[in-house]
A and B are shown apart, each in its own frame.
Chain A
Amino acid sequence: MRVLISTFGSEDADRVLQAMRQLPYDKLVLVGDDRVPESDAFTRLNNLEEIAGHTIDFETADQDDFMELVDGVSEILSRHGDSGKNHVVLNISGGSKLLGDAALLAAFRLGVETFHIDDRITKLPILRGATARDRFTSSQVRLIEMIGAQNPVLGDLITGMAPSSKQSAERVVRELKKQGMLVSEVRDCKVHLSLSPTGLEVLRAVRLITRDKRV
């Protein structure tokens, strides 16, 4: 099934209409704040969908915190993708700037084909299926997952990486440090590692993608 997901605000009927004309779809999903379903724009689009024998799936995205918004949109993209069974296409031209930017970030995380449809149609350079996880080797992902939200001691972490050798585990730590994913601090004569904000973002993306594959 082809799913068209679009960010949406109360004055964005024309943008979404343009997307509906340009991109083939079987199901239309609109993402916006909780006032959207009461708007004339939403009613107009829903009437059109009803004529075609469908209704719009509306998803609320709470817009208080940017990263929560990114997580929320990621979850919506992931759920409607149904573990790769559906072909999801995203349009980010509707709704607030914050919502559009959050949707763009979520699309990069999950490798979702994305457009910015206004008067012009721009296909964004996001490769379908190329996710944030692809940047990392499996050992790097494993280490990121092991650190998680904890603050483990370096030595314990290296031991926990078995059957990888001490040298390979140390190399993975160095690589991730160089990429700005890890932060280290010395406490009680021991080196503790934690994920930097970027590392935590990678962890969130990896968890989403892993969960998506497991479903």
Chain B
Amino acid sequence: MVVVFGTLGFRPKSLIPTIRSTPNVDKVVFYCGADKSEANAVKKVSEAKKEVLSYCSAMKLSVEAVDLDDPFDFKSIAMRIRGDIRRHKRAGKEIAIFNIAGGTRPTSAAALLVCILEGVPTVYVHDLTYEEIPLPLLKMEYSQVLSGEEREILRTLSKNRSRRLTEVELASLIGKHKATVNHHLRNLVAKGAVRLERHPSDLRKKVVVVEESTELLLGDDE
């Protein structure tokens, strides 16, 4: 099954050309949402959504319209999109393309980020001509820039986010010597993936804090 992903704002014509130009497409998944305090924006997005749904129905395409609770919450949007892409990949579906032209700025940027992390081909649609502009994207493989130990540390910190671990506690959790963990932590601090903060009750100690985006970086949703 071939799936087209997209983000949708006010203009259905920013998404429909991609559905038309993708061969053998079976399913369309698109993300939409508007600032709920702006009645006009909500109305426009709703009309655009109706038009895309009606087009897909006429073309006999399966469709999944995802209403974003908050189309300005970058991280939640990226997590949601990455989860959906991985779900489709696991089910053996081919993700032909992701159209990132529509939707709010955070929605479009979050979609682009996920496409880079997942290696999904991406396309823009020109504002005036509605021509598609394919983006030559790179897949960023974190397995190639993080060592196995670094990934293990990030996963452990991420799973134990609420515990505010010290270096010694972290070393004990992953069963490695404190000096080894210290070496890897220094690399991770230099890469901006973790930071060290003062312990809340013991000024001699520091706690290791993982950046919030780590789940996105590791992409562990299984």
Measured CB to CB, the residues of A under 8 A from B are 66-67, 92-93, 97-98, 100-101, 104-105, 108-109, 113, 116, 118-120, 122-130, 132, 134-135, 196-198, 200-202, 205
The segment from B22-30, B41-49, B132-140 that touches chain A is B132-140
With a cutoff of 8 Å between Cβ atoms, the chain A residues found around residue B108 in the complex are 97, 100-101
Report how many residues on chain B are interfacial, defined by Cβ distance under 8 Å. 37
Provided the pairs A125-B213, A135-B138, A201-B138 are in contact, do residues A116 and B191 lie with their beta carbons within 8 angstroms? no
With a cutoff of 8 Å between Cβ atoms, the chain A residues found around residue B216 in the complex are 124-125
Q: Is the CB of B136 within 8 A of A122?
A: no
Q: What per-residue 1/0 map shows which CB atoms of B114-142 lie under 8 Å from chain A?
A: 00110000001000000001111111111
With a cutoff of 8 Å between Cβ atoms, the chain B residues found around residue A93 in the complex are 105-106
With a cutoff of 8 Å between Cβ atoms, the chain B residues found around residue A119 in the complex are 72
Q: Nearest residue in A to B139 (C-beta to C-beta)?
A: A135
Q: Is the CB of B144 within 8 A of A198?
A: no
Task: Kindly count the residue-residue contacts between A and B in the assembled complex, taking CB atoms under 8 Å apart.
Answer: 100
Measured CB to CB, the residues of B under 8 A from A are 72-75, 100, 105-106, 108-109, 112-113, 116-117, 124, 133-142, 144-146, 190-193, 211-214, 216-217
Q: Is the CB of B73 within 8 A of A120?
A: yes
Classify the secondary structure of B's interface with A: mixed
From B106, B113, B133, B192, contact of A66 by CB (8 A): B133
Q: Is the CB of A108 within 8 A of B213?
A: no
Q: Is the CB of A67 within 8 A of B145?
A: no
Max count, chain A CB within 10 A of own CB: residue among B100, B140, B145, B146: B140
- Give Cα A66–Cα B127 distance, bound, in whole angstroms: 12
